[in-house]
Amino acid sequence: MKRDVSVELDIAISGPTTLEFQIAVARQSGPELNESLVFELDGRTIVPQEILGPHGTRIHKFAAGTGGLQVRYSASVFGAAVPEPVSGYDLAVYLRPSRFAESDKLLGFAATEFPSGATHANSAAAVSAWVGRRLRYVAGSSDPIDGAVDTLLSGAGVCRDFTHLQVALLRALKVPARLVSVYAPGLFPMDFHAIAEAYVDGVWRAFDATGLAPRSSLVRIATGRDASDVAFLDNHGGEVYVNNMRVGAVVDGHLPLDNGADPVSLW
């Protein structure tokens, strides 16, 4: 399978800052990746530092002064990724509570809402179905500081909120879980997307309680504990304004079907 993804960003920078982007497809063994990444500030090219994080996550970082920043990324992904070996450390980390997946606050709720002693597979399916049933997808309904607890209470959110609630409930049920930002062919309206990965039967499986895009054609960008690890843009200085963002993601051929229930891994 060939997948083509892209993003274009127009960003106004109001003062000197350091920026970190996580928009490039993850570095994984297996697929051939042809890509182009260009940063231009007021027409001058900027060469970022590339920082490699866990699970192939790539950060592109640079300092920038006031001005207009153009970001253009495009990539073609040929073939499938070989699953990364699962480390003992991963399994420890992805059981821990995190900023936006406060599983420690949800221990009591999860214990009464979901059956105890279920297999990881059954818990993951039950949590994904429950989150999909309990939350309404409402654009603009959540704040950047909202976590899984806020989402549980409000009953509404966007993809990151659906995912945080899944991840937090899974960890409360002792299933390692993490968040992945992805390019999502078929998503409408097209945007960056976020889904959950749960550790089931020895592998990481993809769960998307929003059901907004088929899982088998998703393209991994960044992988981490929650949204704090996968922000497409982290700004550490003067204020910045994303004036325009256009995301693209298509598969070569027909979009795959997804019944939402079969086990699927990102690849």
> Looking at 1, 149, 240, 245, which residue binds its own copies (CB under 8 A)?
149
> Looking at 85, 140, 153, 188, which residue binds its own copies (CB under 8 A)?
153
Nearest distance in Å: CB 193, its own copies: 21
Q: State yes or no: residue 59 binds its own copies (CB under 8 A).
A: yes
SS3 labels along 3-31: EEEEEEEEEEECCCEEEEECCCCCCCCCC
Task: Output the six-digit token pair for 125.
Answer: 């399916």
> Looking at 43, 85, 140, 144, which residue binds its own copies (CB under 8 A)?
144
In eight-state DSSP terms, residue 185 is: T
> Looking at 34, 35, 36, 51, which residue binds its own copies (CB under 8 A)?
51
Q: State yes or no: residue 85 binds its own copies (CB under 8 A).
A: no
Read off φ and ψ for residue 210, nearest 5 degrees. -75, -25
- Asked if 99 contacts 225 with a C-beta cutoff of 8 angstroms, the reply is yes
Contacts with its own copies in 97-126 (CB under 8 A)?
97-99, 102, 104-109, 111-112
Contacts with its own copies in 61-80 (CB under 8 A)?
61
Radius of gyration of the chain (CA): 18
Which CB atom, from 152 or from 212, has the smaller least distance to its own copies? 152
Which CB atom, from 159 or from 227, has the smaller least distance to its own copies? 227
Question: Per DSSP, what are the bridge partners of residue 101?
Answer: 98
Nearest distance in Å: CB 191, its own copies: 21
Counted residue by residue, the chain has a size of: 267
Which CB atom, from 18 or from 34, has the smaller least distance to its own copies? 18
Contacts with its own copies in 214-243 (CB under 8 A)?
228-229, 234, 236-237
| E strands, 53-158, in order | 58-64, 67-78, 136-137, 156-157
Contacts with its own copies in 1-30 (CB under 8 A)?
20
Q: With DSSP H G I counted as helix, E B as strand and the rest as coil, what are the percentages for the chain, rounded to 5?
A: 25, 35, 40
Angle at the Cα of 52 from the Cα atoms of 227 and 252, rounded to 5 degrees: 75
Q: N- to C-terminal Cα distance for the chain?
A: 10
Residues that bind its own copies (CB under 8 A): 20, 49, 51-53, 59, 61, 87-89, 92-93, 95-99, 102, 104-109, 111-112, 133-134, 136, 143-145, 149, 152-156, 174, 228-229, 234, 236-237
